[in-house]
Amino acid sequence: MPAAKCGGTTGTPPVRTTRALMKGKPMEVAVMERVRTSDLAAHVDERVLLRGWLHKQRRLARVSFLVVRDASGIAQVVVIDPAQREEVASFLPETVLEVEGTVVANEKSPGGIEVHSPSVRPISCPTEPPPIQLQRPVLLEQLPTILDSAPIALRHPRQRAMFQIAAGSLFGFRSALEGMGFIEIQTPKIVASATESGANVFRINYFGRPAFLAQSPQFYKQIMVGVFERVFEVGPVFRAEPHDTTRHIAEYVSLDAELGFIEDHRTVMAALRDAVVGMLGGIRKRAAAAVEVLDLSLPEVPSEIPVVHFSDAQLMIEDATGEKVAGEPDLTPAHERWLGDWAAADHGSQFLFVVGYPMVKRPFYTCPDPDRPGFSNSFDLLFRGVELVTGGQRLHRYEDYLAALAARGESSDPYESYLQASRHGMPPHGGFAIGLERWVAQLTGASNIREATLFPRDLNRLTP
């Protein structure tokens, strides 16, 4: 007997009446509900219906194992019948299958469960073998190859786990902020002027006029503090980054929050701390399986995250390394790593707030420290020695904005509608922005932010 073409059913035909049921025809036999692979343990000794992809196939002398992958995990299907073994041997990896079989407990099989006496029906058949070796425990292809074939590579349990972590983080972020009285907003990504500077913006042809892609929802979230007091937004931001680094991409997801009636930047830091706790809680709640797949150890967030002033941080680094850094207006990535190590060693914390960055390195809307006007009421949150979040208190008085813009030699004209808010009564306020992909990359130890981005965009990459 020749090997079955993809399209037939091998073994006992599965019970299939769902179609008849859906069409409102009388039900003739019991409908078998599909069971997810992660739920198999609850069905030992039962006949179940699985659906998924042929992740890999292993042929031994007397038995073939089909590993079937679905969204929840994998299951091992055991084929013994020689004719059926021959039939399934023709199935390419990634064939979409429907498998009916009996769930059997077996200590030796992955997860302690396997599926016996199967009937196997291919639902959808690949036209060629996959471009990525998905059957490996960890993908061995180079990152550019993986990214070129992202539609297939993302099917690997370790690849997709990154994005389950991302989804869990978003769930936790929103839950935490909504619990603190924040309202979700959606602001435009096509804008008339650059948010923070003329540099690194993408230009659009907007019905024949020039326009730009928003580098952040900064101005809009501030305006919305005048409406809702506390707002957050999850959305794409766009930076025409001319550098090809492992830390930068041209489009990423920004988790933005802004809140009014604050005391100063420390009110914002407290809200951020609770947001991060929420994100980790969201991962634990919604992405526990992904945490296991990636073998992650999630960090503890101290009830008080340690805080160091920018100028003190510089002195500490200078003392410890002998490098001359005091007076520099910013910290380098190496300095941030040093501070991360210090926070871990001296405070047992993977998180560290650096506050009081020099005004000269912060955008014009930043509120200066009233006691040290060269420094600002702003902060970065370092996570494992990498800047994860930037935030701070903003100016809220119209006259302060005019003075800040004048001091930088900038006209206030492009900021007309932004400044309308402060012209008509804004409370002291501030906020922060978390880069989702950077968060996931840091959390999972990814060496390149592109590993934590579904379909990255950069200087050289515009597809898939």
Tell which positions 400-459 bind its own copies, by CB under 8 A: 416-418, 420-421, 423-428, 436, 454-457, 459
User: CB under 8 A: which stretch of 154-162, 319-327, 334-342, 403-411 binds its own copies?
Assistant: 154-162
CA dist 94 and 122 (Å) reads 10
> Counting contacts by CB under 8 A, is residue 307 touching its own copies?
no
Q: Tell which one of 239, 273, 362, 396 touches its own copies (CB under 8 A).
A: 396
Q: At closest approach, how far in Å is the CB of 357 from its own copies?
A: 20
User: CB under 8 A: which stretch of 112-120, 186-194, 292-300, 384-392 binds its own copies?
Assistant: 186-194
Q: At closest approach, how far in Å is the CB of 336 from its own copies?
A: 26
Q: Tell which one of 253, 305, 313, 389 touches its own copies (CB under 8 A).
A: 253
- Of 222, 160, 207, nearest in space to 364 by CA: 222
User: CB under 8 A: which stretch of 109-117, 160-168, 335-343, 362-370 binds its own copies?
Assistant: 160-168
Question: Any residues with CB less than 8 A from the CB of 275 and at least 6 apart, and which?
Answer: 173, 176, 177, 255, 257, 434
Q: Tell which one of 32, 204, 289, 386 touches its own copies (CB under 8 A).
A: 204
- Of 236, 192, 239, 188, nearest in space to 211 by CA: 192
Q: Tell which one of 15, 32, 81, 130 touches its own copies (CB under 8 A).
A: 130
Q: H or E stretch including 318?
A: helix 310-321
Q: At closest approach, how far in Å is the CB of 93 from its own copies?
A: 8
The residues in 133-152 that bind its own copies, with binding defined as CB under 8 A, are 149-152
- Residue 39 tokens, joined: 């739920």
Q: Tell which one of 78, 250, 433, 434 touches its own copies (CB under 8 A).
A: 250
Q: Tell which one of 81, 178, 196, 323 touches its own copies (CB under 8 A).
A: 178
DSSP 319-370: HHH----TT-SS--HHHHHHHHHHHHHHH--SEEEEE--BGGGS-TTBPEET
Q: H or E stretch including 224?
A: helix 218-228
- Of 311, 306, 287, nearest in space to 298 by CA: 287
CB 259 within 8 A of CB 229: yes
> Counting contacts by CB under 8 A, is residue 158 touching its own copies?
no
The residues in 16-45 that bind its own copies, with binding defined as CB under 8 A, are 18-19, 22, 34
CA dist 426 and 416 (Å) reads 15
Query: How many C-beta atoms lie closer than 10 Å to residue 203's C-beta?
Result: 11
Q: Tell which one of 4, 77, 79, 191 touches its own copies (CB under 8 A).
A: 191
Query: How many C-beta atoms lie closer than 10 Å to residue 179's C-beta?
Result: 11
- Pick the closer one to its own copies by CB: 253 or 381: 253
Q: At closest approach, how far in Å is the CB of 207 from its own copies?
A: 6
- Pick the closer one to its own copies by CB: 183 or 316: 183
How many residues of this chain bind its own copies (CB under 8 A)?
103
Q: Tell which one of 251, 336, 380, 451 touches its own copies (CB under 8 A).
A: 251
The residues in 212-231 that bind its own copies, with binding defined as CB under 8 A, are 213, 220, 223-224, 226-230
- Residue 184 tokens, joined: 């979700």
> Counting contacts by CB under 8 A, is residue 154 touching its own copies?
yes
The distance in angstroms from the start CA to the end CA of the chain is 42
The residues in 77-116 that bind its own copies, with binding defined as CB under 8 A, are 92, 94-96
CB 37 within 8 A of CB 72: yes
CA atoms within a 13 Å half-sphere pointing along the CA-CB vector of 31: 11
Radius of gyration of the chain (CA): 27
Q: Tell which one of 62, 108, 209, 243 touches its own copies (CB under 8 A).
A: 209
- Pick the closer one to its own copies by CB: 222 or 366: 222
Amino acid at 186: Q
- Of 56, 47, 59, 61, nearest in space to 117 by CA: 47
> Counting contacts by CB under 8 A, is residue 394 touching its own copies?
no
Pairing of strands 351-355, 190-191: unpaired
